[in-house]
Structure 1
Amino acid sequence: MKATTLTLLCLTALAGQAHASSDEAWAAYDKTVLASCTKASGLKNVAPVGNIAQFDDRVGYTAVLLQGRYPQKHMKNQQGTELCLFSKKDKTAYVTEWDSIRAPAKSK
């Protein structure tokens, strides 16, 4: 009887650990998100701003704010900001312009 109880306790402990992600797994996931978002971006010299926002699994998305330069000639290398949503389910990045996040320049 003691062996059965001990086995059940060990299996319960191991089952709890199986659901926890390691630091290496999170780092690999963040790398995937950044690579997908950077590739989907329309900006040149694009880089993340701040940290990746991890939403609850019920939401199904991870968000990252990107910043770079507009490549279009008429934009004159102006700085741009984009919001990238990475679908955990589809492993796909969706990007939209997010320049409104910056405060407008004050006129003197």
Structure 2
Amino acid sequence: MNSIPLEGYLAISTIMFFAGVYGFLSRKNMIMVLISIELMLNAADINFVVFNRLLFPGQLEGFFFTLFAIAIAAAETAVAIAIIINIYRHFKCIYIDENITEMKN
């Protein structure tokens, strides 16, 4: 059984990361920006696992680090969604451009 080459994983991770960067820079909806950040974090997690398998095939440090990164990302997402809900309750809008100008006033 042939395994997927390292370049395949890195290509998928790169595509995911740059899709997240594009979404972060181009979206005006706060939820979509949050999803884009999560996409970038997941691309980094793929790299942790792939390089762990490449450099230390018998050890699990990359896997445990990825599990901790996923747990931290979940906590960060919960806090970010709570902040977005509070912004929506106050301003009745979740679009970044409108909220920034309204917060300045």
Larger % of helix: which? Answer: 2
Structure with more contact order per residue of length (Cα contacts < 8 Å, sep ≥ 6): 2
Indicate whether the TM-score tops 0.5: no
Larger % of strand: which? Answer: 1
TM-score by length of 1: 0.25
